Structure 1
Amino acid sequence: MEDARLRNTLNMDGGTATAGAGEGGLRKAKSIAAITLGNGLEFFDFTTYSFFAPIIGKLFFPTGDHLTQLLLAAGSFGVGFITRPLGGLVLGAYADRAGRKAAMNLTLTLMALGSALIAFAPTYASAGLAAPMWILGARLLQGFALGGEVGSATTLLMEFGGDRKRGLYGSFQILSQGINTVCGALLAVTLSTLLSQNALESWGWRVPFVIGVAAGLVAIYIRRNLRETLPEAVSSEAIELSKPITEVFRNHSKGLTIGILTTIGGTAANYIVVYYIASYAVQVLNFPMSLSLWAPVASAAIMVVCAPIAGILSDRVGRKPVLAISRLLLIAVIYPAFILIHAVPTLFVLVSVCTVLAILSTFTIVPGLVLQPELFPRNVRVTGMSIVYCTGASIFGGFAQFFATLLIQLSGNVFSPAWYLIGCGLLSLTPLPFMRETAGRPID
């Protein structure tokens, strides 16, 4: 009975979503643009923090050692991932009961609030220990919000894609993150170039977070007319958030295990290659901040270009082969890449290395991300994906910068980030033999 209602509510025909009597291609394109833009703006708020980690470490975690300051700043970045699983559980279940649209608008509101708290946070010099606690609280709120955003947005994109284009549509999640990173890094480059160090530390670093608040409000407005893909028969039921959570853990433990292990390699690659490399160049290679930020600009730009290609390839060839080949290649080149940027510490070499690593990272991230919602049925899809993504991203992605910096400090080996990524990559390959290929196959 529910299947019949579902087909009447949402008919997937050759990868084109139609609702009721039909939905025009223009309206569908607007919906996808609204999802992608809102998702990108939310990631802008969350990840811009990493570009200003050296300054935030100095202002909120003052110590006599630059590496320790970076370690504490990286730790505060990672704190934002602690609440991601909780946000994934609560907001994911909310999306499976109340609808994808309602959940995504709620996450945008919470993210904007977190950005406002950071934008107006008092520094250690003026507030003492209250300052780092303020920052940690804001990061926890942002992490909770983003925990619900990724699952809802990716699921909605994928459900628009139908059986033949889920990889392509799911890749828009990574494309939006890439666009956000390019914008955030370019803004950081502009501020660090135009402002003096005193001005940057005084007020310049706050500018991106003020912009993030305004962008969040704009995204909520843009998303106001999004069409819901959750069948009305389900979304109109009483909102009992415990039902999807209970069902996922009771009936889909295999999907959870496979999804979490697969996620580890992609999320570690993303946060090391795209976000950590700028701070690493400043603290280890002694690059000026204005130059080091060109590395994430290049990486994110490559991600924007390659994400749709990786999605299309995963639709045609399959998720598993694309994921396995790209991940093995990344494991093979990451250590030589770190050796090269140390042997020839120039901007050209740094950007060139990051470009190659970003290509491999994108082709390993996209099929892994698309696989996550495909592991679960529609009624618990956002909940299941949110748990999978947030658990893997929280431990191995969000704290990647912290672990990498800590390994350098403990071992004295500046190549430790490469070893960290190799370990995560190998671990993430273990579930592949036990996974079924989902490309081109119905999942509902």
Structure 2
Amino acid sequence: MHPSTSPPQPNRVRAILGACSGNLVEWYDFFIYAYTAIYFAASFFPKGDTTTQLLATAGVFAVGFFMRPLGGWIFGWLADTRGRKVSMIISVFMMCGGSLLIAVMPTYETIGIAAPIMLLLARLIQGLSVGAEYGTGATYISEIATPGRRCFYGSFQYFTIIAGQLLALFTVVVLQQTLSDEQLREWGWRIPFLIGALSAVVVVYLRRSMHETASKKDMHREGAGSLRAMFKHKRAVALVIAFTIGGSLYFYTFTTYMQKFLVISAGFDAETVSFIMTSALIGFMLCQPLFGLLADRLGIKTHMLLFSGLGVMLVIPLLFAIQGTQSPLMAFALVFGGLVVASLYTPIAGIVKAELFPPAVRALGVGFPYALGNAAFGGTAEYVALSFRAEGVETYFFFYVAAVLCVTFIASVLMPNLSRHGYISGDGRVEENTGMKDAQRLADVA
């Protein structure tokens, strides 16, 4: 980041709060769909067994992810050529518009096939918005953060993603305690979407006062925000995709899909699962700044190696153990254990990607390849898992997650030392130092 764009410390903290508050609202809106699907699935799809209806809602959830590449592209270009702040304000409006549409739309019984079509449209709008939010938010936080504390500051992006999930989960728990199951299925599920839609006003107010980190020189540089210029950094693009497919698939396996996995596979009732996941996610959220501080000391490359290596070794036994347990306490311990492994990745997820690109294509370089990988593997996590279950081979999903994490581990080995060669912390020679040279050095040390 150009030194002249760096704000005083109080303004830096306020700017990060502005970025993170919007992140919280966006992810609340996005995840409330996953947590209330069990109640509204029958409202938007033809009558059938529960697994079929959940499969349909998971399919719509996955389709929302496939709008992320378009959002990452459009808003990456906007952030790189018009500023990070403009991009983030527009994205909040879009997310809340999608939530408002879901909150008020008629059911399948009322308007027939138009109901799932409208639901799909709302998810497409939200998917476009989330594709915008992640890349621009990660870029903004990495640029405004204090040198030597970038991973700590970066940890607040996933802190607020998890807080958004928790807020969504807490909202569901409150509704479960105050409304009957019948009321939730008839109309109560609409309340969380309405809450998300109304939250836009506060977020827009906070984001209007944010400090802009993109310099005019970078925004007007030739090729700024263009895909052609981004793909000149082909090794960086490949690394972002490789990190994303393993990180996102693992993250969504132990967060959104875990909510259903504990019900339909482990056999817990919905209320017990809500309390298990709430407790586990609170612990996971609190891990973020702690692991961010640790990453500032150990380095990003070390954390990526630890996450992907431990993930490959532990994800299969963890999922088998969760599937077989009958104890809520043991289920919590196992889920939280899986999330602790994820904490090696989540605080640095945005920083590692932002370090790989120069300012003129940074938001695009972070957002677009991330959205591709996230759509293909993160967004389809539930759908793939439920499909395996429908075919009677649910455990194949466990091995699928481990195999994808192997790709992330290989990319972590090939990644250069970003403190030396990253565009924010180092000399910007990422392309020259990515490849088998670092793998050979690692082998020599071993």
Q: Same fold (TM over 0.5)?
A: yes
Q: Deviations over 1:355-402 (max 9, x none)?
A: 111111121233343211111001110000001211111110011110
Cα separation, 1, equivalents of 2:111 and 2:327: 39
Q: Which of 270, 280, 284 is equivalent to 1:289?
A: 270
Q: Aligned partner of 2:143: which letter? A: E
Alignment of 1:277 with 2:261, yes or no, is: no
* TM-aligned CA deviation for residue 224 of structure 1: 1.2
Q: What residue number does 1:13 align with?
A: none
1:263 aligns with 2:247: no
Give the structure 2 partner of residue 379 of structure 1: 360
What is the CA-CA distance between 1:242 and the residue it aligns to?
7.8
Taking the aligned partners of 1:142 and 1:81, their CA distance within structure 2 comes to 9
Cα distance between partner residues in 1 of 2:211 and 2:252: 32
Give the aligned partner of residue 364 of structure 1: 345
TM-score by length of 1: 0.91
C-alpha separation between the residues in 2 aligned to 1:80 and 1:104?
A: 19
CA distance in 2, matches of 1:416, 1:225: 49
The one-letter code matched in structure 2 to 1:114 is G
Aligned to 2:342, the other structure's residue is in SS state helix
Say which SS state the counterpart of residue 203 (structure 1) adopts. helix
Indicate if the aligned counterparts of 1:90 and 1:241 stay in contact, CA closer than 8 A.
no
Give the superposition deviation at 1:332.
Answer: 2.1
Which residue does 2:316 correspond to in 1?
335
Cα distance in 1 for residues equivalent to 2:125 and 2:100: 11
Q: Is the 8 A contact 1:324 1:364 kept in 2?
A: no
The separation in 2 between residues aligned to 1:67 and 1:45, in whole angstroms, is 24
1:57 corresponds to 2:48 = no
After superposition, what is the alpha-carbon deviation per residue over 1:205-254, rounded to whole angstroms, capped at 9, x for unaligned?
A: 1111101011122111111110101113344x49x9985222112x1111
Q: Read off the aligned partner of 1:314 and give its amino acid letter.
A: A
Q: In the alignment, does 2:391 pair up with 1:415?
A: no
Q: Contact between 2:225 and 2:360, CA under 8 Å: does it hold in 1?
A: no
Aligned to 1:130: 114
Task: Give the letter for the 1:442 counterpart.
Answer: G
- Map of 2:325 onto structure 1: 344
Uncovered stretches (5+) of structure 2, i.e. residues with no partner: 429-446
TM-score (ref. length: structure 2): 0.90
Separation in 1 of the partners of 2:103 and 2:427?
Answer: 43
In 1, the alpha carbon distance for the partners of 2:135 and 2:369 equals 9
Give the 3 Å change call, closer, same or farther, for CA 159–407 of structure 1 in structure 2: same
Is residue 82 of structure 1 aligned with residue 66 of structure 2? yes
Give the deviation of 1:106 after TM superposition: 0.4
How far residue 56 of structure 1 moved from its aligned partner, in angstroms, is 2.8
Residue 31 (structure 2) aligned to one of 32, 47, 53: 47
Runs of 4+ in 1 over 4 A off after TM superposition: 240-243
Q: Do 2:63 and 2:123's aligned partners in 1 also have CA atoms closer than 8 Å?
A: yes
Cα distance in 2, alignment partners of residues 380 and 342 from structure 1: 43
In the other structure, the counterpart of 1:432 is: 412
- How far is the alpha carbon of 1:413 from its aligned partner? 2.8
- Code of the residue aligned with 2:397 in structure 1: it is P
**CA distance, structure 1, for counterparts of residue 189 and residue 42 of structure 2:** 12
Matches of 1:427 and 1:128, distance apart in 2:
43
Per the alignment, residue 248 of structure 1 pairs with: 230
Question: SS of the counterpart of 2:405?
Answer: helix
* Contact 2:284 2:336 survives alignment (8 Å): no
Decide which moves more: 94-103 or 179-188: 179-188
Instruction: Please show how residues 173-188 of structure 1 align to structure 2 within 5 Å.
Output: 173-188=157-172
Residue equivalent to 1:211: 195
**Percent of aligned positions that are identical:** 29
For residue 288 of structure 1, report the CA deviation from its aligned partner: 2.2
Report if aligned partners of 1:263, 1:369 keep a CA contact under 8 Å in 2: no
Say whether the 8 Å CA contact 1:335–1:418 is kept in structure 2. yes
> What is the alpha-carbon distance in structure 2 between the residues aligned to residue 284 and residue 295 of structure 1?
15
Q: Which amino acid aligns with 2:358?
A: P
Q: What CA distance in whole angstroms lies between the structure 2 residues aligned with 1:112 and 1:79?
A: 18
Name the structure 2 match of 1:14: none
Per-residue deviation, residues 52-86 of structure 1 (Å, max 9, x unmatched): 12223222123422211111111111111011000
Aligned partners of 1:74 and 1:401 also within 8 Å? yes
Partner of 1:413, secondary structure, is coil
**Structure-2 separation of matches of 1:402 and 1:63:** 19
1:266-318 Cα offsets, whole Å, 9 max, x none, are 10111110111111222223322222122331332122111112222222111
Shift of 1:443: 5.8
CA distance in 2, matches of 1:241, 1:77: 34
Task: State the partner residue of 1:120.
Answer: 104
SS of equivalent residue, structure 1 residue 294: helix
Match of 1:169 in 2: 153
Amino acid at match of 1:361: A
- The question of whether the paired residues in 1 share the 8 Å contact of 2:266 and 2:324 is answered with no
Change (3 A) 1:200 1:224: same
| 1:308 alignment counterpart | 289
Shift of 1:346: 2.7
Structure 1 pair 27–364 and aligned structure 2 pair: CA distance change class (3 A)? closer
Equivalent pairs counted in the alignment come to 424
- Residue range with higher mean Cα deviation, 113-122 or 417-426: 417-426
Match of 2:354, as an amino acid? P
Question: What is the CA deviation profile of residues 168-223 of structure 1, one whole-angstrom value per residue up to 9, with x for unaligned ones?
Answer: 11111111111111111111111123211111011111111101011122111111
Q: Could you tell me how far apart the structure 1 residues matched to 2:404 and 2:178 are?
A: 38
Which whole-Å CA distance do the structure 1 matches of 2:400 and 2:83 have between them?
Answer: 38
The answer to whether structure 1 residue 108 and structure 2 residue 104 are counterparts is no
Q: Which amino acid aligns with 2:340?
A: I
Q: Match of 2:253, as an amino acid?
A: I
Is 1:394 the counterpart of 2:380? The answer is no
2: CA distance, partners of 1:388 / 1:223: 25
CA distance in 1: counterparts of 2:355 and 2:322, whole angstroms: 38
Matches of 2:35 and 2:301, distance apart in 1: 33
Post-superposition offset of 1:143: 0.4
AA aligned to 1:311 is G
1:262 to partner: Cα distance: 1.3
Hey, what does 1:320 align to over in structure 2?
A: 301
Task: Return the match for 1:233 from 185, 208, 217.
Answer: 217
The 10-residue stretch of structure 1 (415-424 or 351-360) with the greater mean CA deviation from structure 2: 415-424
Q: Is the 8 A contact 2:32 2:165 kept in 1?
A: yes
